[in-house]
Structure 1
C-alpha cells in the first residue's frame, strides 16, 4: 500500500495555562493530521453534529455496537461521556478523537485509544466508528493509521490491539491493510446489540517490520500527557 504524507500533530490554540476542561487540568490537545482528515479531542460544542451523524447512521452502527441507552444522543449524556473521557486523558488511560474532513471540517466519525496499560505492558486498544455516508471511502484507514502512529511515537506504546466481530469484514480488512496481525478468537468478548459475541483479536507492534503504519515525529508528543 502507498501512503500519503505521514500523520502529524500540533497543539490546539486552546492550550492556556490555568484553563480547565470539566474541572480537569488542561493539556496540550494533539491535532493529528493525515491526507484528507484530521483528528482532535471531542468538545461539548460538537454535540449537535455528533448526535445528528449518529442518529442518521443508527441502522448502520447498531449491529456492531453495545445497545444504545434511551438517552444516548441527548446533550447531557454527551456531556457525561466527555467528562469520563477527559478523566481518562488526565489519568493516561485513554485518548478519544473525533475525525473531521480536512477540506470542510465535517464530522466523519470517531477513533479512540482506550485501556492504555503502562508498566511492563505498554499497550492500548484502538476502536472506531464512522458515519454511514462516509464509510468505504478510506477515511477510517487514514484515521486509524494516524492514531496508531500517535500511540507509538507520541505515547511510546509497544503494542496496539483491536477486536472486531468475525463477520465485520470491512473492519477486518482495514486492520489487515494496516499491518495488524490476527491473533485468535476471543469467546463472548463483548455484549453487542444485546448479545454476547465472539470477537477476532488483532495487534500490531511498534517494531513490526512489515507494518505500513507511518511513524510521525514526536513533535508535541508526550504532548498528550504533559501537564501544564
Structure 2
C-alpha cells in the first residue's frame, strides 16, 4: 500500500483533498478562474459550484486509492486556504513507472517561490513513496514562469509536441520535459 502524502514544508501543508475541503476548493477555483483560464481546458460554469467540487474531491480520493492519480492540495500551514494544487496524473506502472505532473498556483501567491517549495517536496514523495522512475511535465511555449520553474526543479526538455492539448478552447503546442529518479540521473 502506497502511503498517502501528508507533507509539510516551511510554508505549506500538502495532502490529498478531504470532503471538508469542498468550500476551500470552490473558493480557490472561483478566485483564480481568470488567472488559470489561459493554461487550462475550457471550464463551464458548473465547474465553479460546490456540488462539482464535492464530486471532484470524491473522485480525487478514489483515483489516489486506485493508484491512477494523486491530486494534491497545497494549503497554508493551518489548512485554512488553498495556495496551489498539483497532480501526479496518468500513473503507469510496470516497466514504465511514470506519471505526468500538472500544477497551478493562486494568482496572489505567484512569485513567492511557493510552487517550487511545494513541488520539491512532492517530487521527493513521488520518487520515494510512489517509486516513480520518470515524472513528465509539459508547458505551453509562451508560459515562461512554468519553463523557469521546471528548469529550477531539474526537468530537462525532451521534445516539442504540436497541437498537443486543447487549452482555453484551442489546440496548443507544448514543450515536453521530464525529471528522472535521482538514481537514474547521469
TM-score norm. by structure 1 comes to: 0.76
What do residues 11-48 of structure 1 show as CA deviations (whole Å, max 9, x unaligned)?
xxxxxxxxxxxxxxxx8542011222120111222122
Of 59, 62, 65, 2:34 maps to 59
- Please give the residue correspondences for 1:121-160 in structure 2 after superposition, counting only pairs within 5 Å: 121-160=96-135
Counterpart in the other structure of 2:136: 161
Q: Give the direction of change, closer, same or farther, for the CA distance of 1:190–1:167 in structure 2 (3 Å limit).
A: same
Pairwise CA distance, 1:181: 0.1
What do residues 101-127 of structure 1 show as CA deviations (whole Å, max 9, x unaligned)?
226743201111111100000001111
| C-alpha separation in 2, matches of 1:73 and 1:60 | 14
Give the length in aligned residue pairs. Answer: 185
For the 8 Å contact 1:181–1:203, the answer to whether it is kept is yes
| C-alpha separation in 2, matches of 1:29 and 1:175 | 24
Q: Give the direction of change, closer, same or farther, for the CA distance of 1:103–1:87 in structure 2 (3 Å limit).
A: closer
Unaligned 5+ residue runs, structure 1? 1-26, 211-228
Pairwise CA distance, 1:142: 1.0
Q: Give the direction of change, closer, same or farther, for the CA distance of 1:110–1:104 in structure 2 (3 Å limit).
A: closer
**SS at 2:149 equivalent:** helix
TM-score norm. by structure 2 comes to: 0.92
For the 8 Å contact 1:85–1:95, the answer to whether it is kept is yes
Q: Give the direction of change, closer, same or farther, for the CA distance of 1:123–1:29 in structure 2 (3 Å limit).
A: closer
- Please give the residue correspondences for 1:171-182 in structure 2 after superposition, counting only pairs within 5 Å: 171-182=146-157
Measured on the aligned residues, the alpha-carbon RMSD in Å equals: 1.9
Does residue 93 of the first structure (1) align with residue 68 of the second (2)?
yes
Q: Give the direction of change, closer, same or farther, for the CA distance of 1:175–1:208 in structure 2 (3 Å limit).
A: farther
| C-alpha separation in 1, matches of 2:3 and 2:123 | 19
Counterpart in the other structure of 2:10: 35
Where relative contact order (Cα < 8 A, 6+ residues apart) is larger, the structure is 1
Higher fraction of helix: 2
Counterpart in the other structure of 1:119: 94
Of 37, 46, 64, 2:21 maps to 46
**Higher Cα Rg: structure 1 or 2?**
1
